[in-house]
Amino acid sequence: MADVAIPRAKPQMSEDSAWTQLKHNRNWLGFWFMVPAMAFLIFFLAYPLGLGIWLSFTDTRIGRVGHFVATENYEWLWDDSIFWLSVFNTLLYTFVASALKFAIGLYLALLLNENMPFKAMLRAMVLIPFIVPTVLSALAFWWIFDSQFSIISWSLRHLGVIDQNINFLGDTTWARICVIFANIWRGVPFVAITLLAGLQTVSPSLYEAATLDGATRWQNFRFITYPLLTPIIAVVMTFSVLFTFTDFQLIWAMTRGGPVNATHLMATLSYQRAIIAGQLGEGAAISSAMIPFLLAAIMVSWFGLQRRKWQQGESND
Among 16, 22, 31, 172, binds other proteins (CB under 8 A): 31
Nearest distance from C-beta of residue 313 to other proteins, angstroms: 15
Told to check if 223 binds other proteins by CB under 8 A, we report: no
Tell me the window of 79-87, 94-102, 115-123, 170-178 that interacts with other proteins (CB under 8 A): 115-123
Told to check if 222 binds other proteins by CB under 8 A, we report: no
> How far is 186 from 172, CA to CA, in rounded Å?
21
Q: What are phi and psi of 202, to 5 degrees?
A: -80, 125
Nearest distance from C-beta of residue 294 to other proteins, angstroms: 7
Tell me the window of 49-57, 67-75, 91-99, 172-180 that interacts with other proteins (CB under 8 A): 49-57
Told to check if 26 binds other proteins by CB under 8 A, we report: yes
Told to check if 292 binds other proteins by CB under 8 A, we report: no
> How far is 264 from 267, CA to CA, in rounded Å?
8
Q: Site map for other proteins, 226-255, x if CB under 8 A?
A: ------x--xx-xx--xx-xxxxx--xx--
Told to check if 167 binds other proteins by CB under 8 A, we report: no
Q: What is the CA radius of gyration of the chain?
A: 25
Among 144, 156, 177, 224, binds other proteins (CB under 8 A): 144
Applying the rule CB under 8 A, the residues between 64 and 93 that interact with other proteins are none
Task: Compare residues 52 and 96 and give the one whose CB is closer to other proteins.
Answer: 52
Tell me the window of 13-21, 67-75, 77-85, 216-224 that interacts with other proteins (CB under 8 A): 216-224
Among 22, 103, 135, 260, binds other proteins (CB under 8 A): 135
Told to check if 278 binds other proteins by CB under 8 A, we report: no
Tell me the window of 47-55, 75-83, 95-103, 166-174 that interacts with other proteins (CB under 8 A): 47-55
